[in-house]
Amino acid sequence: MPGPKPLPLGLSDHEGRVLQGWLRKQSASQALVLRSKIVPACAEGLPNARVADDLGVSRETVRKWRSRFAANRLESLTDRPRSGPPRRITDEQVEALVARTLGQAPPTGDSHWSTRSMAEAESMSQSAVSRIWRAFGLKPHIVETWKLSTDPQFVTKVRDVVGIYVAPPESALVLAAIGRRHRPEGQ
């Protein structure tokens, strides 16, 4: 026994162009792209079962988006803002944090900002600083410069080490060990 007759959808030229635009938009969510496929198929007069089979979704999904589109048109296809508290960190605060990260050294004399030191300087939580740095691809702990040693015998030592690699003595075995300086607890 066939189900109830689906709601007829009349698609205007403008609505068709908007749906096509959403399909081509690379930054569109997968959910919006799927809805942009469901509505034109329904507008062609295809039954929900056929649209569901063609697109690999449930009949209930097709029914839901057909009825929402019939009720509120294009506006019903986009996601509504999620519930929850409003943002507490403004765009201006984010901009200031990014500018400070890129343009200022920490006042403590450290070589780079840590999430803790930046959070304290900007009056934010460490997790907020971490999220902002991740969003902008900032990694202040990765130093992209190097410093020369102040050791007076540095050049001689470099020549010795490089010389072993460039022209190793016969039957030589070169081992390298990298160690960390041990810090007493509490420092």
How many angstroms separate the CA atoms of 129 and 118, rounded? 7
How many angstroms separate the CA atoms of 155 and 159, rounded? 6
Integer-rounded Cα Rg, in Å, for the chain is 31
Instruction: Please give the pLDDT value at position 183.
Output: 60
**Domain assignments of the chain as residue spans, ordered by start:** 13-76, 91-136
What DSSP state is assigned to residue 185? T
- 65-103 pLDDT per residue, tens: 998 888 888 888 887 777 888 888 888 899 899 889 888
In this structure, what token pair is assigned to residue 86? 């409003």
Residues of the chain with pLDDT under 50: none
- Residue whose C-alpha is closest to residue 46's, from 38, 57, 56: 38
Instruction: Please give the pLDDT value at position 158.
Output: 76
For the CA atoms of 72, 78, 83, 86, what is the dihedral angle to 10 degrees?
-120
Instruction: Please give the pLDDT value at position 175.
Output: 75
On whether the pTM is more than 0.85, the answer is no
Residue 39 and residue 23 in contact, taking contact as beta carbons nearer than 8 Å = no
In this structure, what token pair is assigned to residue 186? 């509490």
Instruction: Please give the pLDDT value at position 26.
Output: 84
Residue labelled with tokens 């507008």? 43
Instruction: Please give the pLDDT value at position 93.
Output: 92
